[in-house]
Homo-oligomer: A and B are copies of this chain.
Amino acid sequence: MAKLSDSDNLHQHISKQYDHELIDIRSRVLSLGGLVEEQIEAAVKALVDGDVELAQRVIEDDGKVNSMEVSIDGECTQILALRQPSARDLRLVVVVIKTIIDLERIGDEAKRIARHAIDLKSNSARESQLTELERLAKHVRGLLRAALDAFARMDVDAALKVVQDDKLVDREYESIMRQQISNMMEDPQSTPVCLDIMWMSRSLERIGDRSCNICEYVIYYAKGKNIRHISIEQVEKDLQVE
């Protein structure tokens, strides 16, 4: 009897440790997400304030983002190898593996914005260009924040809302792009500055897309359905039927 009880204890102990590991990777994704948010915020601040030092810090700190990603990825592979998760737990691990790839790439976009911020310091952007870019950045950061919140709660409705809201960001992005094209044609000397603005807008737009990717993973986790490549209207209809 004593032995059986020991084995029960051992089993409980292992299972507790396993639960802890699953909670840990989830919370580490959120920490990585938080760091990446800070990177975007700092890159845009560096741009608006013309703060080259801050931009350089963003570029250096990308190393932290990278090593966090590698470390979480390693932990996920460990869990797959040692715990052989199934059902929901397995989906969680797969979702974490995919989510951190997107977060790391969002970090790369923040680094790109910081590099353009350094370029732009020597040229000079119009006030209106910076204001528009700052507004786009604010909306995109809102999307990423909402995507991370949806991930934290594995909330399907919140995830769907992000995918919807990304359409507004896309429209804002396209309007900035059109504006730059006419600026360049009117004043060819402004071409390098306008291109910097375009590349940064593009990076922000990509961050919006990647936030949507994270939301797709949340829906996959919660519903066991891969909704990539399905229109949002169709997804909403499908989920209502359930």
Contact = CB atoms under 8 A, between A and B. Distances in A.
Interface of A: 63, 66-67, 69-70, 73-74, 77, 80-81, 84, 86-87, 90-91, 94, 97-98, 101, 181, 184-186, 188-189, 191-192, 195, 226, 228-229
18 contacts: A66-B228, A66-B229, A70-B228, A70-B229, A73-B226, A74-B226, A81-B90, A84-B84, A84-B86, A94-B97, A97-B97, A98-B101, A181-B195, A184-B188, A184-B191, A185-B188, A185-B191, A191-B191
Copies of this chain in its oligomeric complex: 2
Q: Which 5 A-B pairs have the closest CB atoms?
A: A84-B84, A66-B229, A188-B188, A185-B188, A185-B191
Nearest to A91: B77
Given A184-B191, A185-B188, A90 B77 contact: yes
A191 B195 contact: no
A229 B73 contact: no
B195 A189 contact: no
Nearest to A177: B195
Contacts of A63: 229
Contacts of A80: 80, 90, 94
A186 B86 CA distance: 61
A81 B87 CA distance: 7
Contacts of A91: 77
A181 B192 contact: yes
Which of A73, A184, A189, A192 is most buried by chain B, counting CB atoms within 10 A of its CB? Answer: A184
Contacts of A228: 66, 69-70
A116 to B, nearest CB: 13
A8 to B, nearest CB: 23
Contacts of A66: 228-229
A87 B81 CA distance: 7
Nearest to A71: B226
Contacts of A97: 94, 97-98
Contacts of A67: 229
Contacts of A86: 81, 84
